[in-house]
Amino acid sequence: MTVAPEKSDVDVPEGYVKLTIDGEEVVAPKGELLIRTAERLGTVIPRFCDHPLLDPAGACRQCLVEVEMNGRPMPKPQASCTMTVADGMVVKTQVTSEVADKAQQGVMELLLINHPLDCPICDKGGECPLQNQAMAHGRTDSRFVDKKRTFPKPLPISSQVLLDRERCVLCQRCTRFSDQIAGDPFIDLLERGAHQQIGTAETADVLDAASHTSESDSASAGKSASAGGQPFQSYFSGNTIQICPVGALTSAQYRFRSRPFDLVSTPSVCEHCSSGCAERTDFRRGKVMRKLAGDDPEVNEEWICDKGRFAFRYATAEQRIRRPQVRNAETGELEEASWTEALRAAADGLAKARDGKGVGVLPGGRVTLEDAYAYSKFARVALRTHDVDHRARAHSAEELDFLASRVAADGGPAGGGVTFADLEKAPIALCVALEPEEEAPAVFLRLRKGARANDVKVVHIGQWASPAVEKTFGELLACAPGGEAGAVDGIAQHAPDVDEALRSEGAVVLVGERAAEVPGLPTALHRLAERTGARLAWIPRRAGERGAVEAGTLPTLLPGGRPVTDADARSEVERHWGIEPGTLPAEPGRDVTGMLNAIVTRDLDGLLVGGVDLDDLPDPALARKAFDAAGFVVSLELLPSTVTPYADVVLPIAPVDEKSGTFVNWEGRRRPFTVTLDGTGALADSRVLDTLGVEMDADLFTQTADAARGDLDRLGAHEGTAPKGTSVALSATKVPPGASAEPPAPGDGQALLATWRQLIDDGSLQIDEPALAGTARRVVARMSRATADGLGDHVTVSTDRGSVTLPVEVTDLPDGVVWLPGNSPGSKLRATLGAGHGAVVDIAGGDR
Amino acid sequence: MGIFDPVKGFGVTFGMMFKKVATEEYPEIGAPAAPRYHGRHQLNRHPDGLEKCVGCELCAWACPADAIFVEGGDNTEEARYSPGERYGADYQINYLRCIGCGLCVEACPTRSLTMINFYELADDNRQDLIWTKEDLLAPLLPGMEQPPHPMRLGDDEQDYYVNGPELARGRGVPEQETVETDTEEAVR
């Protein structure tokens, strides 16, 4: 029995307690777990189930320590991961206590009784907490001589996640993650006692053959729905693989690919959505092997979505463009060319088009800040135009004003913008035209965390109670697609409690990119923010959009949020860029649709295109017509795309793994990343544009990402008479309250189309990932029972352009509305229907 | 110096003619080495021809000279190269780097990697001294079958490991021999 030192001169502040660990006095905040206090002292107590972001479970019993309270020792060693610190506690860990050490060794021996010890064929081998702690805290011999319990292995619990129950130590990290963090009915504990195991509803069926046979006949509705009727699916399943302390959960993608000591790790930033999650990219022999979640408490904590984790093989795809291509004037075919030749051809063509009717620039929404800046500067300096727009999606003039006045002027986290941490503590978070789980999964996780921990009231203005609504314990204010503006304007009438909550301190309104498709919605949101004082955050779907706004790839904005129409701002930029005063046109340029129309009417000659898919544009038919009519098209691309057939020159560019740069996430936070695969010879957009600029006698000074960012930073943000918060621009669009037109009423056999894209779909950055594609949500058409009445199992949704036939799932949508995924296999709405959110479509019973 | 001393010298020379000769006739007659000499590596096979290597990379981990490269692969029902889930899809040893220490052999958990007596590892270019799996795999003995093929000697990998020696006898490997020493014999 140890007695705590009699006298001590350690001050204990309010809310803290003093205890002794291994004879050392320590002050710890009340409620801290013993295992963390010990860790702060430098004593690592072995553990499996303990995870700082999950609730304590005390499942593995590996962290036993000896504890003494009020001078009386507890009769048995205690689990330090569930016990909180208390005043006067005396703790002895394995360092000073033989009892604790023996207890830990005993637990380790028990855990290893049924472990197959198949480390040589296990993906976790080399980075396995069980391996490491067995070496550090286990015995060299086992006294167990009987036959080990075996299970068939591996058991695929989704196309991506493989379960090996023999290796499992039942720490329940995965089940707690699914339950607490993701909220998906993904994986759970089954059976009891020695038969306890991890599994899913499907594996439970295998265990219980009787229930399986009785269920399987009736379960003809859908194969991917498990016997329990709940779809067996999660967008966050990859995290369970990462936090599994043994090799029980492994991924199909990384299966047997390499060992940790083969891998070189680089911190990186996810390129898929605007959350800008921290990642760790591991590569071997010049090839990315896997991506893991990085630890960034400010942004993604320790979690990332499956798309961010598994979708990276697009960069090594067979068809990737590695060499420049120039269209042969005689044969009309693209032919590989040298960089010199291709740049010459591109420069000549662009200069000719510029001196004719002009060139439009479409950088696309996946650019880094530096690349966006290069496009912005190239358009202004080399092409002498404001015809630049990165919005390769539905867009509107109203949205442009919204971006200029609300987003470009928002100073990011430092300037009081909404942050991830704000979502966690907000009294209310109103999501408008945003499906957080599909469009920004990290935002969804924060909303759910806030809703669980701090009672954040999450309100969604949408069409149906999607999984995200349910998992954020949210309230749905359903409206017809296109009726969002009316719903926002009328919030004081139809939801006075929400209106009241929005007036409280810290209230947050989150807007998705779909807002651009709803006339009047950006203005209505602006009015709502002005009226209630709630803070507004724009959460686009693509990683580069926020940075592109900052870099000024918009027809009305120069870099740093400077309005094109502001003479002072123009001359400031002209001075900084060292170009003749008065060179920058005083009139704003054209937006994407404006440019495409101008090409068709021969008011524009050429196009410089970045990562743009024509099928993402609001009118793919118009886009094809315009690209066909364009005099000269230069495409900067990674993979052959819908633009490639129209391109006169194709210049290959580097994927994010092969360049450095910065993404600006939706908060406005800069997320810099360095090059992962060095020396591949692939060039970033900014470098290609810089060289192209030199060929055209225009100096961009964007040779490297650092140079481009330095140039942008020296220019700084706009400080003049900004339209900041004053809604100058927005009121100029003159959409009075209530005038946000009611959505058109669908006639007989018609419906209003509601749509958004699912996280895992046919996106061009998700190619070559069959295991990931297998975890996508089912592609179904959703409509109310009344709307689905008489349609049968399948519905054909059509416009005059084409039709889509999908199975019907009855959902709580308003009557006369049909929801379809935007870009999933068999449901590519822009490409086939040419229609988007809020359009009127024909519906009929489909046969398939 | 005595008068017979020169003759004595001839006597020694003459006497040596009847002693056992220590000269090794290399390279005309074989390349002799002690039975446990650390020569080149060999990737052994199970008695039915399936590979013993599971691609675990422990040899590469153990190698102090970083001479070994391994990449694992996933056995499927259609293409099986080893019993169990995993096999060595890519296996390379760089003999420019190998120092013949044998730590890799000690590390091998399946006794797939062993060393044989062959030591004539010289070449006129660097590329050819990186030996790949095809070069390193043991020759097919009678009763063996070129993978990929299904497991012939058991239902799972446990049967192969637990019953290894009996299986070898069953396939006609002599009593005192193990499968992996066969090539050693052939060279000697």
| Residues A476-511: tens digit of each pLDDT | 999 999 999 999 999 999 999 999 999 999 999 999
Average pLDDT, chain A: 90
Comparing A48 with A791, the larger pLDDT belongs to: A48
Residue B56 has its nearest CB partner, among A120, A154, A257, at A120
- H/E stretch holding A687 reads helix A685-695
Contacts of B61 in chain A (CB under 8 A): 126, 259, 261
Choice among A530-544, A638-652, A731-745 with the minimum mean pLDDT: A731-745
Q: Is the pLDDT of residue A223 over 60?
A: no
Query: What percent of the residues of chain A are helix, what percent strand, and what percent coil, each to the nearest 5?
Result: 35, 20, 45
Choice among A201-205, A216-220, A259-263, A605-609 with the minimum mean pLDDT: A216-220
Backbone angles phi, psi at A153, to 5 degrees: -150, 155
What confidence tier does A227 reach under pLDDT thresholds 50, 70, 90? very low
Contacts of B156 in chain A (CB under 8 A): none
Q: Is the pLDDT of residue A705 over 50?
A: yes
Q: What is the pLDDT of residues A139-183, one digit of tens each?
A: 988 899 998 888 888 888 889 999 999 999 999 999 999 999 999
Residue A121 has its nearest CB partner, among B56, B61, B71, at B56
Output the pLDDT for position A213: 36
Residues 237..296 of A with a Cβ closer than 8 Å to B: which?
255-259, 261-262
Among A128, A131, A251, A256, pick the best mutation site for testing chain B contact (most B Cβ within 10 A): A256
- Closest-CA residue of A relative to B84 is A121
| Measured distance CA(B119)–CA(B129) in Å, rounded | 12
> Which residues fall within 8 angstroms of residue A703, CB to CB, at 6 or more apart?
A686, A687, A690
Q: Cα distance from A118 to chain B (closest Cα, Å)? A: 10
Cβ of B61 within 8 Å of Cβ of A258? The answer is no
Output the pLDDT for position A135: 92
Contacts of A154 in chain B (CB under 8 A): 85
- Closest-CA residue of B relative to A256 is B72
Q: What is the pLDDT of residues A613-656, one digit of tens each?
A: 999 999 999 999 999 999 999 999 999 999 999 999 999 999 99
| Measured distance CA(A57)–CA(A177) in Å, rounded | 12
Across A92-115, average pLDDT: 94
**Token couple for A32:** 């801290």
A33 DSSP 8-state letter: B
Cβ of A261 within 8 Å of Cβ of B71? The answer is no
- Closest-CA residue of A relative to B88 is A256
Percent of chain A whose pLDDT exceeds 90: 84
Q: Cα distance from A294 to chain B (closest Cα, Å)? A: 26
Contacts of A126 in chain B (CB under 8 A): 61
Cβ of B110 within 8 Å of Cβ of A120? The answer is yes
Q: Does A552 contact B at CB distance below 8 Å?
A: no
Q: Cα distance from A258 to chain B (closest Cα, Å)? A: 6
What confidence tier does A225 reach under pLDDT thresholds 50, 70, 90? very low
Output the pLDDT for position A232: 64
Residues 109..148 of A with a Cβ closer than 8 Å to B: which?
119-121, 125-126
DSSP string, A356-387: TT-EEEE--TT--HHHHHHHHHIIIIIS----
Q: Cα distance from B188 to chain A (closest Cα, Å)? A: 33
**Token couple for B157:** 């990998």
Q: What is the pLDDT of residues B53-94, one digit of tens each?
A: 999 999 999 999 999 999 999 999 899 999 989 999 999 999
Residue A154 has its nearest CB partner, among B56, B61, B85, at B85
Q: Is the pLDDT of residue A413 over 50?
A: yes
For residue A62, how many other CB atoms are within 10 A of its CB?
27
What confidence tier does B174 reach under pLDDT thresholds 50, 70, 90? low
Residue B109 has its nearest CB partner, among A120, A126, A256, at A120
Residue B86 has its nearest CB partner, among A121, A259, A261, at A121
Q: Is the pLDDT of residue A207 over 80?
A: no
Residue A121 has its nearest CB partner, among B54, B60, B61, at B54
Output the pLDDT for position A224: 39
Output the pLDDT for position A204: 63
| Measured distance CA(B87)–CA(A20) in Å, rounded | 51
pTM (predicted TM-score): 0.91
Q: Does A156 contact B at CB distance below 8 Å?
A: no
Q: Cα distance from B64 to chain A (closest Cα, Å)? A: 13
| Measured distance CA(A497)–CA(A9) in Å, rounded | 53
Output the pLDDT for position A719: 77
DSSP string, A454-494: H-PEEEEEESS--HHHHHTT-EEEE--TT-HHHHHHTHHHH
Q: Cα distance from B55 to chain A (closest Cα, Å)? A: 7
Choice among A243-257, A292-306, A741-755, B162-176 with the minimum mean pLDDT: B162-176
User: Within 13 A of A689's CA, how many CA atoms are on the CB side?
Assistant: 32
Across A460-464, average pLDDT: 95
Contacts of B71 in chain A (CB under 8 A): 257-258
- H/E stretch holding A567 reads helix A567-577
Q: Cα distance from B178 to chain A (closest Cα, Å)? A: 23
Contacts of B57 in chain A (CB under 8 A): 258-259, 262
Residue B72 has its nearest CB partner, among A119, A154, A256, at A256
Query: What percent of the residues of chain B are helix, what percent strand, and what percent coil, each to the nearest 5?
Result: 25, 15, 60
Residue A121 has its nearest CB partner, among B71, B85, B89, at B85
Establish, for the pair of chains A and B, how many residue pairs have beta carbons separated by less than 8 Å. Answer: 36
| Measured distance CA(A827)–CA(A804) in Å, rounded | 6
| Sign, CA torsion A256/A257/A258/A264 | negative
Contacts of B73 in chain A (CB under 8 A): 256
Choice among A5-19, A174-188, B97-111, B133-147 with the minimum mean pLDDT: A5-19
Q: Is the pLDDT of residue B181 over 50?
A: no
Q: What is the pLDDT of residues B4-32, one digit of tens each?
A: 888 988 998 999 999 998 888 888 887 77
Q: What is the pLDDT of residues B103-131, one digit of tens each?
A: 999 999 999 999 988 888 999 999 999 99
Q: Is the pLDDT of residue A726 over 80?
A: no
Output the pLDDT for position B173: 65
What confidence tier does A9 reach under pLDDT thresholds 50, 70, 90? low
Cβ of A258 within 8 Å of Cβ of B71? The answer is yes
B contact set with A (CB within 8 A): 54-58, 60-61, 71-74, 84-86, 89, 109-110
What confidence tier does A742 reach under pLDDT thresholds 50, 70, 90? low
Residue A256 has its nearest CB partner, among B58, B73, B110, at B73
**What ipTM was assigned to the predicted interfaces of this complex?**
0.83
What confidence tier does B180 reach under pLDDT thresholds 50, 70, 90? low
**Token couple for A96:** 């000073």
Among B71, B159, B160, pick the best mutation site for testing chain A contact (most A Cβ within 10 A): B71
Comparing B138 with A3, the larger pLDDT belongs to: B138
Q: Cα distance from A202 to chain B (closest Cα, Å)? A: 22
What confidence tier does A25 reach under pLDDT thresholds 50, 70, 90? very high
Residue B54 has its nearest CB partner, among A120, A255, A258, at A120
**Token couple for A246:** 């043994």
What confidence tier does B170 reach under pLDDT thresholds 50, 70, 90? confident
Contacts of A160 in chain B (CB under 8 A): none
Q: Measure Cα distances from A474 to A116, A232, A234, A299, A772 in Å.
A: 44, 21, 19, 22, 28
User: How far is C-alpha A440 from the geometric centre of its chain's CA atoms?
Assistant: 4
A186 DSSP 8-state letter: -
Contacts of A119 in chain B (CB under 8 A): 56
Cβ of A256 within 8 Å of Cβ of B55? The answer is yes
Among B53, B54, B86, pick the best mutation site for testing chain A contact (most A Cβ within 10 A): B86
Cβ of B74 within 8 Å of Cβ of A256? The answer is yes
Choice among A226-230, A320-324, A350-354, A381-385 with the minimum mean pLDDT: A226-230
Output the pLDDT for position B167: 79
The closest alpha carbon to A649, from A351, A324, A388, belongs to A324
Contacts of B86 in chain A (CB under 8 A): 121, 256
List the beta strands (DSSP E) in chain B: 41-43, 68-74, 86-94, 113-115, 130-132
Output the pLDDT for position B187: 41
Comparing A803 with B156, the larger pLDDT belongs to: A803
- Closest-CA residue of A relative to B54 is A121
Q: Cα distance from A132 to chain B (closest Cα, Å)? A: 16
3-state secondary structure of A685: helix
Output the pLDDT for position A741: 59
Output the pLDDT for position B178: 57
Cβ of A259 within 8 Å of Cβ of B60? The answer is yes
What's the angle, vertex CA A471, arms to CA A470 and CA A476, rounded to 5? 35
Cβ of B74 within 8 Å of Cβ of A255? The answer is yes
Q: What is the pLDDT of residues A809-827, one digit of tens each?
A: 999 999 999 999 999 999 9
Q: Does A159 contact B at CB distance below 8 Å?
A: no
